[in-house]
């Protein structure tokens, strides 16, 4: 652990020097791909969707509604104190419509995890600054969302992700504990329904320790009968690279996973980080980070 801490401090010093006169901007990567691409994604083959220079787009999630595909993400305008959840509609040529806010709170929101329950669309965004894990139900797609339940209170929870598996709902989430950042330890809980505050903690919690693999990075997925969990590697810097882990064991007594693939930010010039992935209906979406000169930032 000491060697990791020393490496992180060294990386931080290097990063501060590299970023002088620049601002970090997250942007999106989007394009057609088969589901198997989740195991070996090629971000360089996807279309770059750059936000206006006054904001970032990150943590993208896709959802099919009728014949149309929509893209939900974190949007943070630099001049604002915190970010909100925004939506864009995909067009036939692979571009997207202008973004518009759909969920705004008095604290930062990100990671708009989408799931269907009781044939209704729900969203579970990250709102760790609000110290609660909340679920919203969609009342008028895609614009109107109403709070339906609070799953956890008095917690700083990172990128909570649900998975329905083996007759249960499983909740994967990183939690801040004491002096440890909330992207270091992954916790798993289970329940019979995702709309509850009665979650049973896994006896192996935290099931994953270490900022190089704990924090979720998109929905879990199944391929050829195997389960996989995307995660972030933040050892070099926050969200530096994306990992795909195979879940080897998941039940009420055991949890185990192994690293299958890691996507490092070396696939394009000027790319600093890649930390999220999602696939739906033949389209793959990821995010990435670049540096923008301060003089290029619009008011």
pLDDT tens, 39-60?
Answer: 999 999 999 999 999 999 999 9
pLDDT at position 69 is 95
Contact 134, 151 (CB under 8 A): yes
Please give the tally of structural domains in the chain: 1
The answer as to whether 3 is a domain residue is no
**Does the pLDDT of residue 242 top 80, yes or no?**
yes
Instruction: Specify the higher pLDDT residue, 9 or 108.
Output: 108
pLDDT tens, 179-205?
Answer: 667 789 999 999 999 999 999 999 999
Contact 109, 130 (CB under 8 A): no
Of 120-134, 142-156, 170-184, 274-288, minimum mean pLDDT range: 170-184
What six digits make up the tokens of 140?
């008028």
The answer as to whether 13 is a domain residue is no
pLDDT tens, 68-121?
Answer: 999 999 999 999 999 999 999 997 677 899 999 999 999 999 999 999 999 999
The answer as to whether 209 is a domain residue is yes
**Does the pLDDT of residue 169 top 50, yes or no?**
yes
Report the alpha-carbon distance of residue 291 to residue 18 in Å, rounded: 9
CA-atom Rg of the chain in angstroms: 18
The answer as to whether 2 is a domain residue is no
The answer as to whether 17 is a domain residue is no
**Does the pLDDT of residue 11 top 50, yes or no?**
no
Write out the residue range of the structural domain in which residue 157 sits. 24-294
pLDDT at position 229 is 98
Contact 229, 9 (CB under 8 A): no
**5: DSSP letter:** H
What's the pTM? 0.93
Instruction: Specify the higher pLDDT residue, 114 or 14.
Output: 114
The answer as to whether 274 is a domain residue is yes
- What DSSP letter does each residue of 176-223 carry, written as one string? -BTTB-TTSEEEEEEES-SS-S--EEPTT-SSEESTTT-SB-S--EEE
Determine the distance from the C-alpha atom of residue 84 to the mean position of all C-alpha atoms in its chain, rounded to a whole number. 14
What six digits make up the tokens of 131?
């110290």
Between vectors from CA 138 to CA 134 and to CA 143, what angle results, nearest 5°?
110
pLDDT at position 94 is 75
What six digits make up the tokens of 240?
């530096």
The answer as to whether 70 is a domain residue is yes
Question: Given the structure tokens 């064991």, which residue do they identify?
Answer: 249
The answer as to whether 1 is a domain residue is no
Report the alpha-carbon distance of residue 213 to residue 241 in Å, rounded: 10
Between vectors from CA 249 to CA 244 and to CA 253, what angle results, nearest 5°?
135
**Does the pLDDT of residue 220 top 90, yes or no?**
yes
Average pLDDT over residues 25-36: 96
Determine the distance from the C-alpha atom of residue 110 to the mean position of all C-alpha atoms in its chain, rounded to a whole number. 8
**Does the pLDDT of residue 32 top 80, yes or no?**
yes
Domain CATH number, residue 116:
2.115.10.20
């Amino acid at each position: 652990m000491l060697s990791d801490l020393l490496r992180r401090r060294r990386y931080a010093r290097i990063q501060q020097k590299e970023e002088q006169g620049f601002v970090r901007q997250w942007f999106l990567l989007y394009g057609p791909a088969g589901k198997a691409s989740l195991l070996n994604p090629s971000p360089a083959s996807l279309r770059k969707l750059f936000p206006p220079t006054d904001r970032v787009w990150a943590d993208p999630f896709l959802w099919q509604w009728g014949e149309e595909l929509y893209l939900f993400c974190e949007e943070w305008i630099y001049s604002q104190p915190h970010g909100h959840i925004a939506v864009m509609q995909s067009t036939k040529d692979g571009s997207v419509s202008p973004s518009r806010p759909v969920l705004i709170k008095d604290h930062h929101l990100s990671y708009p995890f989408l799931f269907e329950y009781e044939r209704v669309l729900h969203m579970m965004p990250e709102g760790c600054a609000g110290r609660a894990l909340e679920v919203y139900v969609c009342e008028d797609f895609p614009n109107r969302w109403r709070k339906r339940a609070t799953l956890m209170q008095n917690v700083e929870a990172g990128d909570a992700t649900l998975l329905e598996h083996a007759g249960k709902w499983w909740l994967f989430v990183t939690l801040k504990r004491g002096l440890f950042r909330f992207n270091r330890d992954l916790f798993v809980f289970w329940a019979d329904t995702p709309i509850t505050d009665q979650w049973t903690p896994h006896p192996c919690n935290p099931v994953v320790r270490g900022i190089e693999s704990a924090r979720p990075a998109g929905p879990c997925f199944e391929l050829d009968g195997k389960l996989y969990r995307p995660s972030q590697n933040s050892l070099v810097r926050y969200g530096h690279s994306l990992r795909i882990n195979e879940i080897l064991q998941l039940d009420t007594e055991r949890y185990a996973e192994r690293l299958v693939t890691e996507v490092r930010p070396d696939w394009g010039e000027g790319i600093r980080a890649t930390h999220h992935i999602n696939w739906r209906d033949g389209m793959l979406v990821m995010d990435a980070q670049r540096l923008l000169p301060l003089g290029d930032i619009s008011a």
